[in-house]
Homo-oligomer: A and B are copies of this chain.
């Protein structure tokens, strides 16, 4: 264990990979070791940037170009994914690191696909711990990427300091396609593909979203010009530096006004409760419990006992009655 800890602290990539595999495991002995490891590690603070974008907006190209911009400035960048769809396909969107060929070969970058678990909450919890590991390994920027599916964006926002929405240029009608709830958690909207034939459309889309953002309630903890929308081109690189400047400005503003740490504290409290709930529910996965669950479930299915009554019986057996 100590070897793993010191390896991570030294920035050893193999140690980091092994540690992430450890926190992703649901075996109870692995879990105990993971908890111990996370408690031992020093508390280094990276900037955590959540990034959401549906397939087709050019997210891989953006991460590649943006990641290279950051490593070019001497920053160490880790890319993690929260992808509920990867649990279905068995693979992962980031599994094909080939789509980020340059970045994946960059010694200052670390790319890790989404853990494959059946349940989004589990993926999110494990990713949050992977964030901590990457921070302890000395990464400066943690990009946490997700596809815009179900609750995944909210979960990523809950582990990020900044939440970025990557969108494609589109007609005004499609603006409605972005859920209001997502607009409300976005700190910065990047309209990608602002190049070539799509440049004008992208600019119009930026204006559309800027208008929509202005209509939303201002946040007490942000400078008045945020959240904002800007155009970028992951392909030509145009706008990437300006996007990064905006992120830095917002992060610094929050740091100076005490909001940065306050948000982190709130997030930590949130994840404590999430871990606790998951721990309680884990009891149902124990072999002896599963057997009894099956037996009672069959009785319920046959109508011999009501669902609520069976649940009470089971809770009593678990010492929770």
Contacts of A296 in B (CB 8 A): 272
**Stretch of A98-106, A183-191, A200-208, A306-314 that contacts chain B:** A306-314
| B38 & A308 in contact (Cβ 8 Å cutoff) | yes
The one of B35, B268, B277, B301 that contacts A301, using a Cβ cutoff of 8 Å? B268
Asked whether B318 lies within 8 Å of A280 as measured between CB atoms, the reply is yes
User: Is A315 touching B39 in the complex (CB atoms < 8 A)?
Assistant: no
Would you call A96 an interface residue if the criterion is a C-beta within 8 Å of the partner chain's C-beta atoms?
no
Report how far A35 CA is from B315 CA in the complex, Å: 13
Residues of B close to A307: CB separation below 8 A: 128, 268-269, 271-272, 274-275
Name A15-49 residues within 8 Å CB distance of B.
32, 34-35, 38-39, 43
8 A Cβ contacts from A273-304 to B: 273-281, 283-284, 293, 296-298, 300-303
Contact across chains for B284 and A272 when beta carbons are under 8 A apart: no
Tell me the dominant secondary structure on chain A's binding face: helix
Does A320 make an interface contact (CB < 8 A)?
yes
Q: Which residues of A202-233 are within 8 A (CB) of B?
A: none
Closest chain B residue, CB of each to CB of A271 = B307
CB within 8 A of A38: which of B274, B283, B306?
Answer: B306
CA distance A273 to B129 in the complex (A): 28
CB-defined contacts of A281 to chain B, threshold 8 Å? 277, 280-281
B265 touches A311 (CB 8 A): no
User: Which B residues are in CB contact (< 8 Å) with A275?
Assistant: 307-308, 310-311
B38 touching A303 by the CB < 8 A rule? Answer: no
Question: Are A312 and B35 interface neighbours, CB within 8 A?
Answer: yes
- Which residues of A are in contact with B by a Cβ distance under 8 Å? 32, 34-35, 38-39, 43, 128-129, 132, 265-266, 268-269, 271-281, 283-284, 293, 296-298, 300-303, 305-312, 314-315, 318-320
Q: Can you list 6 A-B contacts (CB < 8 A)?
A: A35-B308, A265-B301, A265-B303, A268-B301, A272-B300, A280-B280
